[in-house]
């Protein structure tokens, strides 16, 4: 398929996490993904947006932006915020290390890494989570 892209911006509210993952999944459906690929994309987006909702703006709420690009069989997703950033990225990526323990397991970033092919996280001016996944080749062939 041809390239396509879309942008979303919304406040960092818990109820927008479902909106974000279902919207990105609906957009990704153009690539005719398998159900498990679509589930992995939804999970990864849910985790990245939850990260912004829970951690970015401790004083209240702020903007969360999502940029999605489709190219060939590849989906590239960037979730960013303008919040306080992640102080210790290496620690945050470690399995089971929540900075807000309670009932948060601290595995959000590990789940993203398991669901996507490539993940880059930078945290300088806010946090930016870039993730990418190449979908199964077989399914895209029919509509070319």
Partner 1 sequence: MGVVLRYEGTSIIAVLDGELDVATVPRARTELEAALIKPGMRCLILDLTGVNFMDSSGLGFLLGRYRWCMENGWVMAVAGARAQVRRVLELSGLTKIMPVTATVKEALARVGREKE
| Least spacing, CB of residue 42 vs partner 1, in Å | 7
| Least spacing, CB of residue 36 vs partner 1, in Å | 7
| Assigned token pair, 90 | 């290496």
* Crossing angle for the helix pair 35-51 and 16-28, to the nearest 10 degrees: 140
CA nearest to 122, candidates 86, 95, 98 = 86
If one asks whether residue 36 binds partner 1 (CB under 8 A), the answer comes out as yes
When binding is defined by CB under 8 A, the residue of 28, 32, 46, 123 that contacts partner 1 is 46
CA nearest to 87, candidates 77, 97, 74 = 97
Q: Are 33 and 134 in contact (CB under 8 A)?
A: no
- Among 16, 21, 37, 51, the active-site one is 51
If one asks whether residue 37 binds partner 1 (CB under 8 A), the answer comes out as no
Report CA 69 to chain centroid distance, whole Å.
13
| Assigned token pair, 11 | 């406040």
Alpha carbon distance 81, 20 (integer Å): 14
If one asks whether residue 50 binds partner 1 (CB under 8 A), the answer comes out as yes
When binding is defined by CB under 8 A, the residue of 54, 71, 76, 89 that contacts partner 1 is 54
16 an active-site residue?
no
4 an active-site residue?
no
- Binders of partner 1 among residues 57 to 116 (CB under 8 A) are 102-105, 107-108, 110-111, 114-115
Q: Are 57 and 84 in contact (CB under 8 A)?
A: yes
Residues marked as catalytic: 47, 51, 104
- Residues at the interface with partner 1 (CB under 8 A): 14-15, 17-18, 21, 35-36, 39-40, 42-43, 46-47, 50, 53-54, 102-105, 107-108, 110-111, 114-115
């Amino acid at each position: 398929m041809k390239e396509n892209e879309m942008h979303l911006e919304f406040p960092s509210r818990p109820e927008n996490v479902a909106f974000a993952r279902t919207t990105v999944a609906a957009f990704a459906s153009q690539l005719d993904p398998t159900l498990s690929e679509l589930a992995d994309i939804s999970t990864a987006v849910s985790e990245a947006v939850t990260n912004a909702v829970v951690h970015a703006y401790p004083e209240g709420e702020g903007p969360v932006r999502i940029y999605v690009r489709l190219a060939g069989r590849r989906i590239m997703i960037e979730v960013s915020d303008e919040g306080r950033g992640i102080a210790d990225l290496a620690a945050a990526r470690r399995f089971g290390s929540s900075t807000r323990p309670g009932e948060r397991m601290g595995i959000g970033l590990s789940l993203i890494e398991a669901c996507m092919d490539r993940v880059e996280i930078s945290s300088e001016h806010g946090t930016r989570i870039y993730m990418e996944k190449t979908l199964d080749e077989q399914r895209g062939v029919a509509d070319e």
